[in-house]
Amino acid sequence: MEIKIEKSGGSISSCIFRGSELISGLLQQCFRRVPADNDEGGGGRSFANRRRKAGLDRYNIRVNTLDIKADDNGEVVMDVASGLVFWKKNMNFRGSSFS
């Protein structure tokens, strides 16, 4: 299996398994959900409208560090520390992915 990572955003850009390309574009993280009917109710005071005004529907992912290495068992470990840059607020998270 061959996996390519786009370093500036930390996204998977390609995945080839046994000669077949499984992913051919950016596989990006998504931390937003589509508002439900209940979220939209209430006009300007709705939960969905308040989230939009706060800029929580508009964000970019900023990668702070990206480290990829093989462990002693031959498994590849990807360690990413990144942040979500919102229109008005910033959030940071750190996570690990094992494959």
Report the pLDDT value the prediction gives residue 17, as an integer from 0 to 100: 92
pLDDT band at 21 (very low <50, low <70, confident <90, very high): very high
Task: Give me the residue spans of the domains in the chain.
Answer: 2-98
Average pLDDT over residues 18-45: 83
- pLDDT > 70: percent of the chain: 87
Whether 65 contacts 79, CB under 8 Å = yes
Q: How far apart are alpha carbons 68 and 38 in whole angstroms?
A: 42
pTM: 0.51
* pLDDT surpasses 50 at 41: yes
Report the pLDDT value the prediction gives residue 77, as an integer from 0 to 100: 82
Inter-residue long-range contacts of 25-30, CB under 8 Å, 24+ positions, other chains counted: 28/61, 29/61
Q: How far apart are alpha carbons 3 and 11 in whole angstroms?
A: 10
> Helical H runs in the chain?
37-40, 47-53
Q: What is the pLDDT of residues 66-78, one digit of tens each?
A: 888 888 888 888 8
